[in-house]
């Protein structure tokens, strides 16, 4: 399983790993060339400071998930969630008396289990007259949308709904 991080956590992991390597190299050189004794609490403090400084300098966002939020809390860093998606209000309007209105959608989400199309026929008063949902095999989104349109016309024709 491949773990995918958003920009905030990815940058912090990079900084952490690079800083750990640098601290190990620095301590090894200090022991080898200066005869000093490594102080691990100072090394850990340096790693934490670099993580917090990197977080204050970067502008990435976190993925809005509990796992990523918990990881950021373990690093003692506050998460920066991404901006909320744009919300559009969509209102259903009834059709003219004597006519049916159909709403269809076809979708292919990169998986054979999630590809398909569906539709709902409604009267001018909003009552459901008929509906369908049909799964598809592997296909493109264009094919799913086109299949939804073709099936809608066929479904309405077979039931005698001409308007």
Q: Model confidence over 58-90: pLDDT tens digits?
A: 777 777 677 777 877 777 777 777 777 777 787
- Taking 60 as the threshold, does the pLDDT of residue 111 lie above it? no
Q: Model confidence over 26-50: pLDDT tens digits?
A: 888 888 888 878 788 888 888 888 8
d(CA 119, CA 104): 4
d(CA 116, CA 105): 9
Give the helix ranges, DSSP H, for the chain: 7-34, 40-57, 66-74, 141-158
- Taking 70 as the threshold, does the pLDDT of residue 14 lie above it? yes
Structure confidence at residue 121 as a pLDDT band (50, 70, 90): very high
Cβ pair 46, 85 in contact under 8 A:
no
Query: What values do phi and psi take at 104, rounded to 5?
Result: -125, 160
Q: Any idea of the CA torsion for 133, 136, 141, 144, to the nearest 10 degrees?
A: -50
Predicted pLDDT at 64: 66
d(CA 101, CA 93): 9
This prediction has a pTM of 0.44
Q: Is 151 left (phi over 0), alpha (psi -120 to 50) or beta?
A: alpha
Predicted pLDDT at 153: 92
Predicted pLDDT at 94: 82
């Amino acid at each position: 399983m491949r773990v995918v991080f958003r920009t905030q956590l990815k940058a912090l992991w990079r900084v952490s790993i690079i800083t750990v390597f640098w601290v190990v190299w620095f301590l090894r050189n200090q022991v080898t060339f200066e005869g000093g004794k490594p102080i691990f609490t100072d090394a850990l403090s340096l790693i934490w400071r670099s993580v917090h400084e990197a977080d204050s300098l970067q502008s990435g966002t976190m993925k809005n998930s509990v796992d990523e939020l918990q990881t950021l809390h373990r690093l003692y860093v506050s998460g920066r969630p991404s901006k909320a998606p744009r919300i559009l209000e969509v209102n259903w309007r009834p059709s003219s008396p004597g006519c049916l209105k159909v709403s269809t959608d076809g979708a292919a989400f990169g998986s054979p289990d999630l590809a398909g199309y569906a539709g709902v026929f409604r009267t001018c008063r909003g009552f459901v007259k008929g509906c369908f949902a049909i799964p598809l095999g592997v296909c493109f989104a264009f094919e799913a949308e086109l299949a939804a349109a073709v099936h809608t016309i066929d479904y309405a024709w077979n039931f005698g709904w001409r308007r």
